Structure 1
Amino acid sequence: MVGRCNILCRGIMIVLAVCLCSCACAVPRTPVAGTLHGEVSWQGRVYLDGDVVLGEGSRLLIAPGSEIVFLPASEGRDLLTAHPNFPGSELIIKGELVAEGSPAAPITFRYLDPRAPAGSWGGINLSQSPRASFRFCRFTQADSAVHSQESKVFVEESLFENNLVGIRFFSSEMLIENNLLRRNGTAIRFHFGSPVICRNEIVDNRRAFFFTSYPRDFHIRSNTIRGSSEYAVVLGEEVPDDVPMPENYWGTTDLAAIEASFFDGRRTGYLGAVQVVPVLAAADERAGISWNP
């Protein structure tokens, strides 16, 4: 009997030790905060507290399969809340960023609580970044997930869902290709800039596109744009000229139905009109992401 008791006690101790070890491993490491310089590499689960800044001339490399988790900002660590920044923890990039996952190991940017709503963290704020590259990434719960100001940015093969704004930019050189943007407040919003936006699936958002001011020299083709609950395209009050968006698929070939989904000069006289002819009769089979999120 004594022997059995000793064996039982040892078994209980082993189970407790395993449980304690598991609990300890689940505790977040010290979160990243403040300003980063030089060559920085992130791998695994990384927690950000407040406004984290990558300084000029620095480079941040995020490994495939990593999770970048934005915490509720601690007191004194969310100092930048007014536009072009946002309330909540955010990543501010003044150097170079490489966030390139893989179909089997995408990189995720999310809030601490996976049940929290859109707008729970600020965004990835690119400020005069010489180069930022996102491939095979997933963005969720942000105010403006990728927000670029006067930067050069590549966004490919990535998923944006449940954000107030998916991709937002000002006077930036943008390549936005083969992405899925779904269930966002606004999928893509921009002010100036000359983006190339091709072969994306932009579906089931409140608004697919919001042009806020004088779009020029942009190329928006071969996208699937459908299911917008409010408008497919909105022109802001500083867009007096027509906006060409031919060769996209709008979920229908009925021109009147497509035009009815725009807030443009057809509704108010001081705006230009979105021009969509010719429209694609079917979705481009190359549009969207190539992996299963």
Structure 2
Amino acid sequence: MRLLSLISLLAITLLTACTPARLYRAEVLHGDVVWQGRVDIAGDLVLAEDSRLTILPGTEVIFHSPAPGDDRWREHPNFTGSELIVRGVIDARGTAQAPIRFRPATRTIAPGSWGGINIGDSSEAVFAYCRFEGADSALHAQNSTVYVEQSVFRRNRIAVRFHSSEILIEHNRFERNGSGIRFHYGSPVICHNEFVDNGRSIFITAHPKEVHIEYNNFVSAVDYHLVLGEEVPEDVPAGRNWWGGTEPERIGELLFDRQRDPYLGRIEIQPLLKAPVDGAGPR
């Protein structure tokens, strides 16, 4: 009897393992939705205003090239390629042992292989212990409340992009993205993150308000660590960060502000930290 029970258990396990992944195309989801295991998206998938999506630890969300007619939204604020468009609530909380992964179906992780997670007018969007790879704009938020922590963004054109949103970006690693964080008209809290080999670590394009950029490790950048766009005449506080050294002149070489364009504000880097922030990046 024990042998038969073990055989039955093994059969159930194999059957579960061979269950095909759920494939979504261009459709709209309503109500409570839970994702676990593998989820495939080929097209623009919409999470409606009345819905709540929970993504469980260890889930892989894989974005494929959309079939003709399934890439319904391509113009800004949307992007070319398959997207998850969030108008309701999303709760994606992995663990250190079982992170949630958002990636393209292609073997080679190339920036822009899929559109992104596009969050609009959402009352709550939570991402913790997630990995984002190969997107145009991995997270793009407009007029939403967003929390991003303990996550890794690698090889995206833009990792986190937003405007007019309440957003906390804490304990993340941004590596080899075109831009790590890009935003305008926002009041973000950006702290305890690690920026490595991005084109631009942070790019502020227009009129920030009450920005908190503190206790981050800016390790290396291809172009600049912090860039002010042409619509930023305001000074931007960015003290209490580690810039890879303590010499203001050397740090200034990786900043784009009034020292390069007189119409821009200044990036205020004082007070300077004298050593890297212990514990910055994902724990």
TM band (smaller chain): over 0.9
SS at match of 2:270: coil
Which structure 2 residues correspond to residues 66-85 of structure 1 after superposition, within 5 A?
66-85=59-78
In the alignment, is residue 242 of structure 1 matched against residue 235 of structure 2?
A: yes
In the other structure, the counterpart of 2:187 is 194
Which structure 2 residues correspond to residues 211-226 of structure 1 after superposition, within 5 A?
211-226=204-219
Q: In structure 1, what is the Cα distance between the partners aligned to 2:219 and 2:201?
A: 8
In the other structure, the counterpart of 1:281 is 274
Which amino acid in structure 2 is aligned with residue 265 of structure 1?
R
Deviation at 1:116, TM superposition (A): 3.7
Deviation at 1:25, TM superposition (A): 3.4
Larger radius of gyration: 1
Structure 1 or 2: more strand by fraction: 2
In the other structure, the counterpart of 1:270 is 263
Which structure 2 residues correspond to residues 205-216 of structure 1 after superposition, within 5 A?
205-216=198-209
After superposition, the C-alpha distances for 1:159-198 in whole angstroms (9 at most, x for unaligned) are 0000000101000000000001111000000011111111
Which amino acid in structure 2 is aligned with residue 133 of structure 1?
V
TM-score (norm 2): 0.92
After superposition, the C-alpha distances for 1:198-246 in whole angstroms (9 at most, x for unaligned) are 1001111111010000011111100001210111111111001111100
In the alignment, is residue 128 of structure 1 matched against residue 121 of structure 2?
A: yes
Which amino acid in structure 2 is aligned with residue 122 of structure 1?
G
In the other structure, the counterpart of 1:13 is none
Q: Is the 8 A contact 2:173 2:282 kept in 1?
A: yes
Gap change, CA 1:40 and 1:29, over 3 Å in 2:
closer
Q: In structure 2, what is the Cα distance between the partners aligned to 1:27 and 1:288?
A: 35
Q: In structure 2, what is the Cα distance between the partners aligned to 1:246 and 1:118?
A: 31
Deviation at 1:284, TM superposition (A): 1.1
In the other structure, the counterpart of 2:80 is 87
In the other structure, the counterpart of 1:52 is 45
Q: In structure 1, what is the Cα distance between the partners aligned to 2:76 and 2:230?
A: 19
In the other structure, the counterpart of 1:166 is 159
In the alignment, is residue 96 of structure 1 matched against residue 84 of structure 2?
A: no
Deviation at 1:264, TM superposition (A): 1.1
Q: Is the 8 A contact 1:212 1:235 kept in 2?
A: yes
Q: In structure 2, what is the Cα distance between the partners aligned to 1:107 and 1:126?
A: 18
Q: Any runs of at least 4 consecutive aligned residues in structure 1 with deviations exceeding 3 A, and if so which?
A: 24-33
Which amino acid in structure 2 is aligned with residue 161 of structure 1?
R
RMSD: 1.6
In the other structure, the counterpart of 2:31 is 38
Q: In structure 2, what is the Cα distance between the partners aligned to 1:263 and 1:115?
A: 32
Which amino acid in structure 2 is aligned with residue 47 of structure 1?
D
In the other structure, the counterpart of 1:112 is 105
5+ residue gaps, structure 2, are 1-13
Q: Is the 8 A contact 1:32 1:46 kept in 2?
A: no
After superposition, the C-alpha distances for 1:18-43 in whole angstroms (9 at most, x for unaligned) are xxx99x93865443431000000111
How many positions carry a matched residue from both structures? Answer: 270
Which amino acid in structure 1 is aligned with residue 133 of structure 2?
T
Q: In structure 1, what is the Cα distance between the partners aligned to 2:255 and 2:178?
A: 16
Q: Is the 8 A contact 2:109 2:133 kept in 1?
A: no
